[in-house]
Structure 1
Amino acid sequence: MEYEFRIHPMKTAKISNTFQLMKRLFDVNLALFLLIITCPIILMTAIVVKIESPGQIIYRQERVGLHGKKFIIYKIRSMYTDAEKAGPKWAEKNDDRITRVGRFIRKTRIDELPQLWNVLKGEMSMIGPRPERPVFIKEFQMNYPNFIQRLAVKPGLTGWAQVNGGYDISPKEKLKLDLEYIHSMSLKSEAHILCKTVKIILSGSGAR
C-alpha cells in the first residue's frame, strides 16, 4: 500500500538560502571525497559479502525524504536475503538476521558508504534526521503526531539522534532529538555532529 506524507508549508524548517547553499556545497565536496578514498573498502567489502552469503551486494530500500518525497536508499547488504520474510521489522540488538560480515560492517558503518551516492544525488545530506521507511513513519505518526515534522529537512547520513543514542533510542526520543536539530541548525551544530560521528565510528559504539 502506498502512503503519502506531506508537510504543511507553514511548518517547514526556516533555513536561510545562504545556509542551504553552504550545506549543499559541503555535502557534495565531502561525499565525493569520501567516495574516492573509500572505493577500495567498498570493493573489498562487496567481495566478502558475496562470498559469505548469496544475494545482491547492494541493498536497495524505499525511504521517505524531504517533504515526504520517497527515494531509494543504498546500503551494502548486511542481512540474509530472507531477512524480511515475516514482514518489515526494525533491526534489533544481536539480530539473528545479520550475517557475520554484516555485524562488522554495521559496527564500522561501512554498510552506509553507498549512501554517499544518495548525498551526491541530492536526496540526502551528510547531516540530518535518518530517513525512515514509509511503513514505519505511518506507524510512528499514529503514536507521535509530530513525527512527520522530521521530513521538514533533508534526511542525513548521520544526525543529532544518531550521535546521541543511535539505534538504541525509541522513536519518541529520536523525534525529540531530531526536532532539536531542526530548530537549531547552524554551521556550528553541523561541525559538532560531524566530530561526534567520527568518534563513534572509531569506537564502534551504537551499532546493531
Structure 2
Amino acid sequence: MRSKMAYESNSRAFSGKVSTSSSLYPAFKRGFEVFFSIALLIFTLPVLLLTMIAIKLESPGPVFYKQERVGLNGKTFYIIKLRSMRTDAEKNGPQWAAKNDPRVTRVGKFIRKTRIDEIPQLINILRGDMSLIGPRPERPVFTEQFAEEIPGFKKRLLVKPGLTGWAQVNGGYEATPAEKFEMDMYYIQHQSFKIDMQILLRTVWVVLSGNGAR
C-alpha cells in the first residue's frame, strides 16, 4: 500500500485542472452539504435505530462497518456504513461488491437496495472526508489495481469522493470500472450547481424506485 506522499506525488503529475462553474461554487457546495447532512441525519434517525436493531437480531457482529478508502489527494480515511454483509465476507481477501452479492445478509439486501446502509456516511461528510456529490471512494487495493489498468485513474483523487455521483446515477453495478472512471471524469470537468442538483434529484429517484445501484 502506498503512502499519502506517494499519492500526492502522483496527483501533481496529473494533467488538466478541476473545473467549476463559479468561484463561489466550492463554498456554496460545502455549506449546502453540511446543512443537508445534519437535516438528513435528524430526519432518518428513527430508521437508523430500527435498522441497527434488525442487523443485530439477524447476525452476530458490529452494527457499523468501517473500511479504509482513498480520498482527496490520496489521503485515506475510514468510511462508515451500516453492515450489510456477513462478518466473514472477506475471508478470501478483498472483493469488489457485485450485484446480487451472495455475501449480503437478508437485512443487508434491503438496506442496500434502499441505500439505508449509506446514511452513516453523512458523518464522513460532516468530518470533511467526503462530499455529498463526487466520485465514490475506492479502497487502496482497488485504487492501485485500477490505476494500473486504467490510464489516469488517480485523477479521480483531484476532488473529494462523494456519497453519490454521476456514475452512480448513470451506471451503478452495471458499469465497469473504466466506464465509471469516464463518468467520474465527466463530473470533475463539468461540476456545477446545476449538475449537482441533477445528481441529487436522480439519486432520490433511484432510492425511491429501487432501480440502479451505487
Shift of 1:168: 1.8
Query: After superposition, where does 1:167-206 map in structure 2 within 5 Å?
Result: 167-206=173-212
Q: Does 1:29 align with 2:31?
A: no
1:72 is matched with which residue? 78
Query: After superposition, where does 1:8-157 map in structure 2 within 5 Å?
Result: 8=12, 11-15=16-20, 17-157=23-163
Q: Within 1, Cα distance between the matches of 2:181 and 2:27?
A: 26
Shift of 1:207: 3.2
Unaligned stretches of 5+ residues in structure 1 = none
Shift of 1:167: 1.9
Unaligned stretches of 5+ residues in structure 2 = none
Shift of 1:8: 1.2
Moved more, 4-13 or 159-168: 4-13
Deviation per residue, 1:3-54 (Å, 9 max, x gap): 5422117645244542110000011000000000001111110000000000
Q: Within 2, Cα distance between the matches of 1:55 and 1:5?
A: 33
Contact 2:69 2:137 in 1 (8 A): yes
Deviation per residue, 1:92-140 (Å, 9 max, x gap): 1221100000000000000000000001111111100000000001000
Distance 1:124 1:31, change over 3 A: same
Distance 1:122 1:17, change over 3 A: farther
Contact 1:11 1:152 in 2 (8 A): no
Which amino acid counterpart does residue 207 of structure 2 have in structure 1? I
Shift of 1:192: 0.6
Q: Within 1, Cα distance between the matches of 2:204 and 2:67?
A: 25
Which amino acid counterpart does residue 123 of structure 1 have in structure 2? D
TM-score by length of 2: 0.93
Contact 2:19 2:190 in 1 (8 A): no
Measured on the aligned residues, the alpha-carbon RMSD in Å equals: 1.4
Deviation per residue, 1:49-93 (Å, 9 max, x gap): 000000010000000001111001000000000000000001112
Q: What SS class does the counterpart of residue 107 from structure 1 fall into?
A: helix
User: Stretches of 4+ moved more than 6 A in 1?
Assistant: none
Q: Within 2, Cα distance between the matches of 1:149 and 1:165?
A: 19
Q: Within 2, Cα distance between the matches of 1:195 and 1:125?
A: 16
User: How many corresponding residue pairs?
Assistant: 208
Which amino acid counterpart does residue 12 of structure 2 have in structure 1? H
Question: Percent sequence identity over matched residues?
Answer: 56
Q: Within 1, Cα distance between the matches of 2:16 and 2:121?
A: 27
TM-score by length of 1: 0.96
